Amino acid sequence: MGEANARFAEALRRSNVDAAIAADGDFHGVAVTARANQAIHTVLDQFTPLLRRVERLRFSPLSGRDSGE
How many domains does the chain fold into?
1
- What mean pLDDT comes out for the span 9-26? 92
Domain holding 10, by residue range, is 2-68
CA distances from 10 to 7, 31, 38, 43, 45 (A): 5, 21, 31, 29, 26
Please report which confidence band the pLDDT of residue 56 belongs to, taking 50, 70 and 90 as the band edges: confident
Contact 38, 7 (CB under 8 A): no
Residue 37: predicted pLDDT: 92
Average pLDDT over residues 2-11: 96
* Backbone dihedral angles phi then psi of residue 14, each to the nearest 5 degrees: -85, 0
pLDDT band at 57 (very low <50, low <70, confident <90, very high): confident
